[in-house]
Structure 1
Amino acid sequence: MGTKKFSNETVVMEYAQSIVSGVKVAGKEIIQMCQRFLNDLENPEYDFSPKDAEFVIQVIETTFVHDKGERLDGSPLKGEPFILEPWQKFIIYNLLAFYQTGTLIKRFKEAFIFLPRKNGKSRFVAALSWGLALLERKSGSSIYIVGAALEQSMQSFNFINFNLKQMGEENNFRVRDNNQEHSISGDFGNNGSIYIKALAANPDAQDSLLCNIGIADELHAYRTPKQYNIIKEAMKAYTNKLMIGITTAGDNMNSFCYNRLKYCQKILDKTVTDEKYFIFIAKADENELGEVDYTDPIQHEKANPNYGVTIRPDDILNDALQAQNDPQQRKDFFSKSLNVYTSAMRAYFNIDEFQHSNAQYSWKLEQLAKLPITWYGGADLSKLHDLTASALYGRYTMKDGKEVDIAISHAFFPIVRATQKAEEDNIPLFGWKDDGVLTMSNTVTVHYDDIVNWFIGMKKMGFKIKMVGFDKKFGREFFLKMKQSGFKIVDQPQYFYRKSEGFRRVEVKVKNQDFYYLGNQAFEYCVQNVRAIEKTDDMIQYEKVDGDGGTQRIDLFDATVFACCQMLEDMATTSAVGRWLNS
């Protein structure tokens, strides 16, 4: 660590130490990041030199002013200097002050900044873009601010443009702000040049991009990873490149942003190592079931680094109390004010309950095959050119008398369409394949033999499969092949009133933490896409959240319900026969 003290160094150190010591309220992830920062100061693999961080902070605070807003006391902010908060300076210090030991190569190449709404995110992005552009000007800095929609990136662009005019510098820069382009460029001769451009994330039109800094704004609205990766790929010509993803939480747990959040949490938990990734996650703390005490002001402060600055404590408490009485508002409050991901508004299940139940057990396939369990099968083959699923379902009574339901599901997909569908519909097919829960068929459609062979393979492993349920009108050939392979296969029409019992069984078992699915991520994906409608007599009808024409899938959950229904019907038949024999 260098001996020279910089003007903002004390502020940053005090911020990190106050978080770690508990003097300042913060959520789990910010505490982890501050501890990581303090550890890195002592790490011989990195040199710590805040010179560039100080430059960027000074540029922002001496050249930028607010374009709108009010202080908490109601006094106007427009025209007042844009003074950074300690947490913002902490981010800048992390991004720019660490170097690989003995080199000019900056440590961090990528960043994930996760903030609730109204914490000054868009203006911070703009100010940071301006400071980074001037910092890297001698390399001919080129910065892209990319939103899922152009309107998102234009908020930051317009703030930079506003400040150019406030500085009286608009004539010294070339500003293009029309239907074709939104960019700011400046040439400083021997001192380099800058180029800042706002654009929408359109991977089909951005293959020729070249930049050293990319800022992906509102990541939660990105439909596919390609929208992010195309910007990241544009940086390969630079050594000190930096890709920043900045976002608020959303309501799609199958999205690129949510998966990126989980990956970054693993880095902070030290279950994954990625030394080049900086992470700042501001959110309320959740318990193991994904629940948040959302009316607690402490959680409000944990989630919002600008609590008491741009976030008015009374306002957010009032919003929390409204959310308590209005379930429709609650999910929006969770995602936008507490920065906690929620399932889609119409989704039926809370995936945290499934994950918590699954975490209670640890059997492997080989162990399950040896347990005295009668297994029942199910298959969903409605679209053989798309995702197809099979499942086994059984129940096991433990020594303490606890009865656990176990679901083993497997996915199938034609390899010819896999790459296309993985990108178009944002389905992690290849990750599932690597996990061993998906088989790629080497044909244009999923081949019936692949599904039959999966059941045969499970039987050979030792699973005692009593019967398999399947609606034969969706694949009579499969029905016959299963019979020929020695399985008792039962015609199981897909009527909602018949599937309802299996659905309810799964639901109850999950809530009682008596449900195990071997942590299958493909199954979790399908669970999160289930929308259910309550009918009369406690019946339930379910479908995909986005309807028949949507891009989501529920096939593995469907196959599991079919298998569960077979188990329940067999239990009822066995019970009826037993009563008759004993009468």
Structure 2
Amino acid sequence: MVSKFKDQVIQYAKDVVAGKVKAGGNVRECKRFLDDLKRDDIELRTRDPDLVIMLIQKLIVHKQGETLEGQPLMNKPLVLQPFQMFIVYNLVGWYWKGSNIRRTNEAFIYIPRKNGKTLFVAGLAFALGILERKSGARIYISAAALKQAMEAFDDILYSVRYYGIDQEEGTVIHDNNMEHSIELNFYDADGRTSGSLRIDAMAANPDAQDSFNCNIAICDEIHAFKKAAQYNRFKEAMKAYTNKLMIGITTAGDNINSFGYQRLQYAEKVLDGIAKDDAFFCFVSHADADDKVNVDFLNPEQHEKANPSYGVTIRPSDMMNDAMQAQNDPQQRKDYISRSLNVYTNAMRAWFDIEEFRASDKKYNWTLEELAKLPIKWYGGADLSRLYDLTAAALFGHYKGVDIIITHAFFPVVMAVRKADEDNIPLFGWADDGWLTMCNTPTVNAADVVEWFKSMRRQGFRIEQIGQDRKFAREFFTLMKSNGFNVVDQPQYSYVKSEGFRYIEKSAKDGNLYYLHSDAYEYCVANVHAIEKTDDLVHFEKIGKTTRIDLFDASVFGCVRYLDNLDRAKAAAQWWG
């Protein structure tokens, strides 16, 4: 059978790579697709993707909307765009050569709002269910809120009723306060069941989904998920199937500590070739941004790069009008960049632009071993928890115009699982990467923190002085003294910490800050909320109850010690000439 759509998909990928179709992050996935066509361990089969595309275009109709020319779309069939066909081909077209096992079992689709995402999700769910009917397809459409999940479900239900499928034998529909489901049964010539599919819409509630079983799950707007378990419960529910498919779909948000952002970061690593994951498909659409995440949001080319439906469902004039408003009204800018150009922005209350820190950090690449050998005087800081929360230690040094921050965190292992899940903190990832020590005690043991400073000293770090508020950790203070460290009682007053806060802020903006690419430190920096007081004093705190800033706080302690000793050294030089 000759493919109806394969040539269109390949041409789309070629046009994106050649720059004929303006695309941002998608260039890498299209190049990956073209390279995969040359591989001899996988093969692209056309039957399944062609069937899915035809089913979507024949069975899904618009229930509302207008074309760019103002013509009503209600009851008109959904016509897939080339980028949507490309997604379908990657989801169900690739097979491991010589087998019936599909290559892709997980996907991350990242496109801005109003690009036809919801109706496409609806058609995809329905068509995939029909494709997998002989396996007794079970599909879940989920989102952080039931209302969002119902958007796609209602699109399917509207189409089912429009074509009269709801009146056919074997169709069962429940749409009430207790349940939202569509079930279709298929029969052979003898009247026996030859296949079935069931689609359920629900909110992502991990506490109620442990016993679920499915082979296809679509999680929509995962940037709004509060915890990874909301996604992982569905992923775990399909372990009994070989050709399973877990799809996460989202737009950008304003919380870089969210689950959705972490999935985006993983997708970026896969597309950049840093992480190898053959079973993971990524479609990442966003505008281009420089190292400091400055986006040329007035440039129509960036509008097109971010929006694959530009000129189809996205009106170019509307994009430019909104861009002009974002230029003239700064309070609109953040939403425009995240919602329309699909570039993640930090939480509105966050003080720092985390991308400024990242841009500065990327300029340098010293290892711990190299830093230990450099002629640097190091100044430490510690922020100890009272019981079983995150504890932080830091060293601050300066070398040839570069400010260097080394941080390490501590957390009691008995509380780690609970807090990692409740507060969405990647504690175990930090531990794997070497940024955190799991303490084998119910509460943080001061001796573990002291041991870290001792280990840094043994490696060759010349630790001159350490700042710590003694009233919160007398045991730590005493142990440090007994181990030969010069510890200074440093109260947590705003007028004391403001200088260190401002110094680190300026260092990051000037591109002179290096923190060894620590994800844990970035997490804490992104959660800092600050209030300016008189005389440029700054009082800073965390942006929410479940966030943490301890590593940043410890680095401020160390920076204050550095600045204080720098002033003393200058005064001594002036005195002695």
Match of 1:340 among 343, 356, 364: 343
**Is the 1:378–1:392 Cα contact (8 Å) retained in structure 2?**
yes
**Is the 2:149–2:202 Cα contact (8 Å) retained in structure 1?**
yes
1:64-79 aligned within 5 A: 64-79=60-75
For 1:124, the aligned partner's letter is: F
Per-residue CA deviations over 1:402-449 (Å, capped at 9, x if unaligned) read x11111111010011001111111111111111111111111100010
Matching of residue 535 in structure 1 with residue 538 in structure 2: no
Q: CA deviation at 1:178?
A: 1.2
Which residue of structure 2 aligns with residue 570 of structure 1? 565
Matching of residue 17 in structure 1 with residue 11 in structure 2: no
Matching of residue 45 in structure 1 with residue 41 in structure 2: yes
Does the residue aligned with 2:268 lie in a helix, a strand or coil? helix
**Is the 2:410–2:436 Cα contact (8 Å) retained in structure 1?**
yes
Q: CA deviation at 1:355?
A: 1.6
Is the deviation greater in 70-79 or in 347-356? 347-356
Q: CA deviation at 1:146?
A: 0.9
Matching of residue 120 in structure 1 with residue 116 in structure 2: yes
For 1:420, the aligned partner's letter is: R
Q: Distance in 1 between matches of 2:458 and 2:41?
A: 52
Matching of residue 143 in structure 1 with residue 146 in structure 2: no
Please, which runs of 5 or more residues in structure 1 have no aligned partner? 398-402
Q: CA deviation at 1:382?
A: 3.7
Match of 2:235 among 211, 232, 235: 232
Which residue of structure 1 aligns with residue 179 of structure 2? 181
Match of 1:326 among 317, 326, 329: 329
1:294-305 aligned within 5 A: 294-305=297-308
Which residue of structure 2 aligns with residue 400 of structure 1? none
Does the residue aligned with 1:552 lie in a helix, a strand or coil? coil
For 1:551, the aligned partner's letter is: T
Q: Distance in 2 between matches of 1:333 and 1:97?
A: 35
**Is the 2:112–2:340 Cα contact (8 Å) retained in structure 1?**
yes
For 1:72, the aligned partner's letter is: L
Match of 1:61 among 57, 63, 83: 57
Which residue of structure 2 aligns with residue 429 of structure 1? 427
Is the deviation greater in 127-136 or in 57-66? 57-66
Q: Distance in 2 between matches of 1:217 and 1:226?
A: 14
Does the residue aligned with 1:174 lie in a helix, a strand or coil? strand
Match of 1:507 among 505, 508, 517: 505
Is the deviation greater in 104-113 or in 529-538? 529-538
Per-residue CA deviations over 1:179-212 (Å, capped at 9, x if unaligned) read 1111111111333011000011111110110001
Matching of residue 5 in structure 1 with residue 8 in structure 2: no
Matching of residue 250 in structure 1 with residue 246 in structure 2: no
Does the residue aligned with 1:421 lie in a helix, a strand or coil? helix
Does the residue aligned with 2:71 lie in a helix, a strand or coil? coil
Q: CA deviation at 1:384?
A: 3.4
1:354-373 aligned within 5 A: 354-373=357-376
Match of 1:134 among 119, 130, 137: 130
1:101-112 aligned within 5 A: 101-112=97-108
1:326-475 aligned within 5 A: 326-397=329-400, 403-475=401-473
Q: CA deviation at 1:103?
A: 1.3
Match of 2:195 among 192, 196, 221: 192
For 2:450, the aligned partner's letter is: V
For 1:507, the aligned partner's letter is: E
Q: CA deviation at 1:518?
A: 0.9
Q: Distance in 1 between matches of 2:348 and 2:329?
A: 13
Which residue of structure 1 aligns with residue 555 of structure 2? 560
For 2:338, the aligned partner's letter is: S
**Is the 2:216–2:244 Cα contact (8 Å) retained in structure 1?**
yes
**Is the 1:384–1:447 Cα contact (8 Å) retained in structure 2?**
no
Q: Distance in 2 between matches of 1:46 and 1:440?
A: 42
Q: Distance in 2 between matches of 1:211 and 1:514?
A: 51
**Is the 1:429–1:438 Cα contact (8 Å) retained in structure 2?**
yes
For 1:531, the aligned partner's letter is: H
Does the residue aligned with 2:453 lie in a helix, a strand or coil? helix
Q: Distance in 2 between matches of 1:364 and 1:39?
A: 35
For 2:127, the aligned partner's letter is: G
Which residue of structure 1 aligns with residue 190 of structure 2? none
For 1:480, the aligned partner's letter is: T
Match of 1:241 among 244, 247, 258: 244
Q: CA deviation at 1:461?
A: 1.6
Q: Distance in 2 between matches of 1:575 and 1:384?
A: 40
Please, which runs of 5 or more residues in structure 2 have no aligned partner? 188-192
For 1:544, the aligned partner's letter is: K
Q: Distance in 1 between matches of 2:172 and 2:110?
A: 32
Does the residue aligned with 1:349 lie in a helix, a strand or coil? coil
Which residue of structure 1 aligns with residue 165 of structure 2? 169
Which residue of structure 2 aligns with residue 551 of structure 1? 546
Does the residue aligned with 1:480 lie in a helix, a strand or coil? helix
Q: Distance in 2 between matches of 1:57 and 1:232?
A: 24
Does the residue aligned with 1:191 lie in a helix, a strand or coil? strand
Match of 2:87 among 80, 86, 91: 91
Per-residue CA deviations over 1:523-575 (Å, capped at 9, x if unaligned) read 111011011222222222211112xxx10000000000011001111111222
Q: CA deviation at 1:258?
A: 0.9
Does the residue aligned with 2:455 lie in a helix, a strand or coil? helix
**Is the 2:385–2:444 Cα contact (8 Å) retained in structure 1?**
no
For 1:333, the aligned partner's letter is: Y
Is the deviation greater in 307-316 or in 46-55? 46-55
Does the residue aligned with 1:18 lie in a helix, a strand or coil? helix
Q: Distance in 1 between matches of 2:136 and 2:103?
A: 20
Which residue of structure 2 aligns with residue 259 of structure 1? 262
Q: Distance in 2 between matches of 1:377 and 1:384?
A: 22
Q: Distance in 1 between matches of 2:369 and 2:43?
A: 49
Q: CA deviation at 1:467?
A: 1.2
Q: Distance in 2 between matches of 1:236 and 1:487?
A: 53
Does the residue aligned with 2:34 lie in a helix, a strand or coil? helix
Per-residue CA deviations over 1:475-525 (Å, capped at 9, x if unaligned) read 122111211111111111111111110011111111111111111111111
Q: CA deviation at 1:579?
A: 2.2
Does the residue aligned with 1:192 lie in a helix, a strand or coil? strand
**Is the 1:284–1:299 Cα contact (8 Å) retained in structure 2?**
yes
Per-residue CA deviations over 1:146-171 (Å, capped at 9, x if unaligned) read 11111111001111111111011223
Q: Distance in 1 between matches of 2:573 and 2:45?
A: 79
Is the deviation greater in 112-121 or in 534-543? 534-543
**Is the 1:116–1:338 Cα contact (8 Å) retained in structure 2?**
yes
Q: CA deviation at 1:83?
A: 0.9
Q: CA deviation at 1:293?
A: 0.7
Q: Distance in 2 between matches of 1:21 and 1:440?
A: 49
Matching of residue 497 in structure 1 with residue 500 in structure 2: no
Per-residue CA deviations over 1:12-62 (Å, capped at 9, x if unaligned) read 1221121111111111x2111111111222211112211111111111111
Does the residue aligned with 1:272 lie in a helix, a strand or coil? coil
Which residue of structure 2 aligns with residue 209 of structure 1? 212
Per-residue CA deviations over 1:300-335 (Å, capped at 9, x if unaligned) read 000001101111101111111111122221111111
TM-score when normalising by structure 1:
0.96
Indicate how the Cα distance of structure 1 residues 382 and 236 shifts in structure 2: closer, same or farther if over 3 A, else same.
Answer: closer
Q: Distance in 1 between matches of 2:16 and 2:432?
A: 39
